[in-house]
Amino acid sequence: MSSFIERPRFTCALGGAMATVTALPRTVAILHAPSGCAGNNAWTQAGGCGLQVGGYCGGLSIPGSNIQEKEVVFGGIERLGEQINNTLKVMDGDLYVVLTSCVTDIIGDDVASVVRPLKEQGIDIIHAETGGFKGNSYLGYELVLESLLETYIAKAETVKGSVNVWGIAPYFDVFWRGNLAGVRTLLEKLGLTVNTFFTVDDSLEAIRQAGSAELNIVVSDVIGQKAAKISREVHGIPYVISTLPVGPSASNDFLRTVGAALSLDQAFVEEIIAQENRRYYQLLEPITDCFNDMDLQRYAAVIGDSNYAVAITRFLVDDLGWLPEVVAITDVLEEKEQSTIVASFTSLTSGIAPKIIFNGDSTAISRQVKEHWESRQGKSGKYSNPLTPAFVVGSSLDRPLAFDLGAAHLSVSFPVANRAVIDRGYTGYSGGLRLIEDLISTIIINR
């Protein structure tokens, strides 16, 4: 393993936790941290999250103890106590989440000792130890979920047909709002009541009831599984795991997986799937002429976190009929997780087997992709068969690679510096259509 990570495509656990808390309805984070952690995250979001910063109480509005050297020496608990008490007066929240930082985790401040008595007084306040050195922003998402599941969401009687969805980390999946909404739309087709926690259509009342779900659904091969395991222990709710469902093929599988897990009538599920495919291809139909006339099939390099790299590659192969040659997965994965990902590529139709790279380092990815492209350069001379025309689906850090390959480029995975994102999403059947619009619009921008 390298002794450094080049331009990490995520931030730290605290950053991920902050983003997650600010995405919860009417929730206020309280940082037990030095003064810069919220600003660091705000600048990260402004540059990497499709211009989305903040939320109800995000950006530089997040309250914090702003500890200094004095607290490092003498402990920061007193300052935190004062900060929390005044936060309850100044801020208007329905839930408060205390998040710790590198500094306060290392000096060993006992945050639980401050939070517990307030909780006992009936104040909705929880905490998570999210020191940045513990891991990356995906871990921060998990740690907040863990805290919610263990200390905020009680076990409750099962409500049939209600499900929770995890696996999409707010902001660090730049299209999180749209992606969560897309998954919800899919599940609602099956007649389910869906709790996605973080969209504008979610509420704390509903989140509090999450312990009554019949099933927890994780739409990621890596993220959110810990939450599902905790909920199985705490609330007794079973879970299923699916790859992020982007486009029709993956959505078909997703609906079948969930249908089976909930023992829904198979014919009913298949009817929904047929309806949705009819609709998808009817919508796609008018573009068929130009798609073919303009020869819009591409070789592709797909670069992104495990959610995106797998889901987009599958969409490109199975739905759009493109030719992904290299897939780079940029989050830090354990060996077991890596083999799950590798296995998921073996089921692609057309027998296409892209080269898979596990690396988050832009320069290294670029080098390996270019090596692959060169190795396929074909014979020199009049008749050669290089990997053109090409497309790089990645992050904004992959623009130099696309330039070198002479390829078109679309930023999808964090950091997305060069797109404005509000509620666009790529999940579900309609998400596939959005992705086609974005890919092709990029190719024809100078038309």
Q: List the interface residues with other proteins, window 122-141 (CB under 8 A).
A: 131-137
User: Which residues ranging from 172 to 201 are in contact with other proteins (CB under 8 A)?
Assistant: none
74: part of which helix (H) or strand (E)? helix 69-74
Segment contacting other proteins (CB under 8 A): 10-18, 184-192, 219-227, 265-273? 10-18
User: Which residues ranging from 340 to 379 are in contact with other proteins (CB under 8 A)?
Assistant: 363
Nearer to other proteins, 90 or 420 (CB): 90
Asked if 247 and 432 touch (Cβ cutoff 8 Å), the reply is yes
- Give the count of residues interacting with other proteins (CB under 8 A): 75
Compute how many other C-beta atoms are within 10 angstroms of the C-beta atom of residue 16.
29
Q: How far is the CB of 369 from other proteins (least distance, A)?
A: 16
User: Which residues ranging from 24 to 83 are in contact with other proteins (CB under 8 A)?
Assistant: 28, 31, 33-48, 53-54, 56-57, 59-69, 71-72, 82-83
Nearer to other proteins, 60 or 112 (CB): 60
User: Which residues ranging from 142 to 171 are in contact with other proteins (CB under 8 A)?
Assistant: none
Nearer to other proteins, 83 or 231 (CB): 83
Total residue count of the chain as it appears in this document: 447
Nearer to other proteins, 397 or 412 (CB): 397
Asked if 178 and 420 touch (Cβ cutoff 8 Å), the reply is no
Each residue 265-304 as x (binds other proteins by CB under 8 A) or -, in order, gives: ----------------------------------------
User: Which residues ranging from 104 to 123 are in contact with other proteins (CB under 8 A)?
Assistant: 106-107
Interface with other proteins includes 92 (CB under 8 A)? yes
Q: How far is the CB of 60 from other proteins (least distance, A)?
A: 5
- Residue 298 tokens read as 């591409």
Query: What is the sign, positive or negative, of the torsion defined by CA atoms of 155, 158, 162, 167?
Result: positive
User: What is the b/e burial string over 286-311, where b = at least 16 CB atoms within 10 angstroms of the residue's CB?
Assistant: eeeeebeeeebebbbbbbbbbbbbbb
Q: How far is the CB of 89 from other proteins (least distance, A)?
A: 6
Q: Roughly what angle, to the nearest 10 degrees, separates helices 428-443 and 266-284?
A: 20
Residue 192 CB contacts under 8 Å (≥ 6 apart), including other chains? 161, 162, 163, 258, 262
Q: How far is the CB of 332 from other proteins (least distance, A)?
A: 9
User: Which residues ranging from 416 to 435 are in contact with other proteins (CB under 8 A)?
Assistant: 417
Q: Can you spell out the DSSP letters for 298-354?
A: -EEEEEE-HHHHHHHHHIIIIII--EEEEEEE-S---HHHHHHHHHHTTT-GGG---
Asked if 155 and 206 touch (Cβ cutoff 8 Å), the reply is no
Q: How far is the CB of 82 from other proteins (least distance, A)?
A: 6
What Rg, from alpha-carbon coordinates, does the chain have? 23
Each residue 198-237 as x (binds other proteins by CB under 8 A) or -, in order, gives: ----------------------------------------
Nearer to other proteins, 63 or 248 (CB): 63
Strand order in the sheet with 193-195: 193-195, 162-166, 215-218, 239-241
Question: What gap in Å lies between CA 43 and CA 277, rounded to an integer?
Answer: 41
Nearer to other proteins, 131 or 259 (CB): 131
Which of 4, 108, 351, 445 lies at the binding interface for other proteins (CB under 8 A)? Answer: 4
**Phi then psi for 390, rounded to 5 degrees?**
-125, 160
User: Which residues ranging from 382 to 411 are in contact with other proteins (CB under 8 A)?
Assistant: 397, 399-400
